[in-house]
Chains A and B, each alone.
Chain A
Amino acid sequence: MKNIDDPQKLQKEILKITYLISLLPIISSLLFGEYDITLGFVFGLVIATLLLRLKYNNIIRALSMEEDSAEKFIRNRYFIEYALYFVVLFSAAKNANLNFLAAAVGLFMIKFVVILMSIVDLLKDTFQRKFDEYK
């Protein structure tokens, strides 16, 4: 990854790629007239973006603490985040205007992009090494 030294730039890069990839399901569901999928997906994506930001702020706060208190702090914050994920998925399950699976996929989009970026980096490194060996 290019911006490994700057977490804020990396966050922006991740979000940019996530939104670009998300355009495909959003536009296709709009074209097919499945508005509940669009709404569910956008709902999940927005919450995932906000939770990424929250996670970053929590990490910055935890780094100024002692080891034990940082451990407890991050653990407690994870359970709060978990409750937020539950609220999002529960409301998507209960509301007929939101598609449950689309909301779940929206929540997962950032994670998929991070994995995708790591795989691309790994492949790039492997090919570069092979190319250098060949030269």
Chain B
Amino acid sequence: MIEFTPEVANTVITTASYVAAGAAMMAGMGPGIGMGFAAGKATSAVRRQPEARGPIITTMLLGQVISASTGIYSLVIAIFLIYGI
């Protein structure tokens, strides 16, 4: 079995946490793409049915507010990993 000195073990842990933080940040890209797609569809929906503008805006706002939270979760995890708060 390989035994690491504490310095080497610390370096490995720090490197792994930085890599994990980077992977967590990748999760922030998904909501952006999804939100953009939803906004495009909402635009064409408003053009088709202008009288439904209010409910469309409300639904889009609430959807975007909720979908942004997954990005913030990943950001919180990444900051936790980097700074070890």
Contacts and interface: CB of A to CB of B under 8 A. Distances in A.
Interface of A: 1, 3-7, 10-11, 52, 55-56, 59-60, 62-63, 65-68, 70-75, 78-79, 81-82, 85-86, 89-90, 93, 100-101, 104, 107-108, 110-111, 114-115, 118
Given A67-B43, A67-B44, A115-B66, A5 B79 contact: no
A63 B53 contact: yes
Interface of B: 28, 31-33, 35-44, 46, 53-55, 57-62, 64-66, 68-69, 71-72, 75-76, 79, 83, 85
B43 A65 contact: yes
Nearest to B28: A82
* Majority secondary structure, B binding face: helix
Q: Is the interface of A mostly helix, strand, loop or mixed?
A: helix
Contact of A60 (B57, B59, B83): B57
Contacts of A55: 61, 64-65, 68
Nearest to A110: B65
Nearest to B69: A111
Contacts of A66: 43
A67 B45 CA distance: 10
25 contacts: A1-B58, A4-B54, A4-B58, A5-B55, A6-B58, A10-B61, A52-B65, A55-B65, A59-B60, A62-B43, A63-B53, A66-B43, A67-B41, A67-B43, A70-B40, A72-B36, A73-B36, A74-B39, A78-B32, A78-B68, A79-B32, A82-B32, A89-B72, A89-B76, A93-B85
A67 B66 contact: no
